[in-house]
Structure 1
Amino acid sequence: MASGLIHPAVAHLSSLLGTWRGEGEGGFPTIGSFKYGEEIHFSHNGIKKPVIAYSQKTWKLDSGEPMHSESGFWRMKLDGSIEVVIAQSTGLVEVLKGKYNEQDKVVKLQSELVANASKVKEIIRTFKIAEDKISYNVEMATLLTCLQTHLTASLKKL
């Protein structure tokens, strides 16, 4: 997308736009550890709205069998704050708020609401952005566990 068609509030995160693919690993005290392939897509439809559409899918590395998917929207504000809503294929919905640290190139999002989840009470998503690479960490707390790492991944821009 030409830079002239990007909303000013989205401009500082325009390097996210595009498709990213890579691998990750996950685990939690209540489940076994696992590895997965992943693709994330960020898109922006022009200057009228400060919104980036987000979609993600994962698959088993050995078989290619689908594992998880989610989609939503990142809404940027001119002050650098970000509001995110994500609907997961499991039925869980996250509403997160955070900021982009331009110096460190890090987006940190913390859940304001985790809906339709009987056990999950908090989620923190942290993205580190480089020119051709994104890495992230997802932390989760449940009714039975304190906040701890659930997922980590590294993806390259296609």
Structure 2
Amino acid sequence: MENISQPPVQPADAAAVHPGIEPISYLLGTWKGQGEGGFPTINSFSYGEELRFTHHSSRPVIAYTQKTWKLNSGEPMHAESGFWRPKPDGSIEVVIAQSTGLAEVLKGTYNTEEKVIKLQSELVGNASKVKEITRVFRLIGGDLSYEVEMATNSTSLQPHLRASLKKL
């Protein structure tokens, strides 16, 4: 019988970065910090967070995972994962699946000089109330910050989340 198992996955050389992700390769690694959230229909809150961006040098895609927890207890709050695909023309496509069941397809742009990534939802799936999401990521003085805005059936686009993270 022929062996049809996959060859073992070789770890990517830390120095090897696929040319397709080079413009946003500063994201690669693990980031940790704190954030704040709120919305007109909920109470404000603070949270701890970890983002992880990884890739294999043979693919022009970055894998993304995120998790948050309550600062006082460490209890998990939210998690999401997905894939980021930068394009040579400065555009980017991102897909994210959230632990709540919500799925996002986002498109946007990246600016290599300013190290800013702006994303706008093209589709928010499996959401009864959420209609639109924007995400803006910035590298400022070595820290990764982001802002998320959200619109629902009853509210226009409003600030929802913001955080500042340090690379581990």
TM-score band by shorter chain is over 0.9
Match of 1:85 in 2: 95
Matches within 5 A, 1:1-158: 1-3=13-15, 5-46=16-57, 48-130=58-140, 132-158=142-168
How many percent of aligned residue pairs carry the same amino acid? 69
Deviation track 1:13-47 (CA, whole Å, cap 9, x = no partner) reads: 1110000000000000111100000000000111x
1:61 partner SS = coil
Structure with the greater alpha carbon radius of gyration: 2
Partners of 2:86 and 2:25 lie apart in 1 by: 11
- State the Cα distance separating 1:126 from its structure 2 match: 0.1
Higher percent of residues as strand: 1
Partners of 2:24 and 2:40 lie apart in 1 by: 34
Give me the TM-score of the superposition, normalised by structure 1: 0.95
Q: 4+ residue runs of structure 1 moved beyond 6 angstroms?
A: none
1:86 partner SS = strand
Partners of 2:46 and 2:34 lie apart in 1 by: 7
Give me the TM-score of the superposition, normalised by structure 2: 0.90
Point out where structure 2 has 5 or more consecutive residues left out of the alignment: 1-12
Partners of 1:2 and 1:58 lie apart in 2 by: 26
Of 129-138 and 61-70, more deviation after overlay is shown by 129-138
- State the Cα distance separating 1:131 from its structure 2 match: 5.8
Count of residue pairs brought into register by the alignment: 156
- State the Cα distance separating 1:8 from its structure 2 match: 1.2
**Residue identity matched to 1:14:** S
Point out where structure 1 has 5 or more consecutive residues left out of the alignment: none
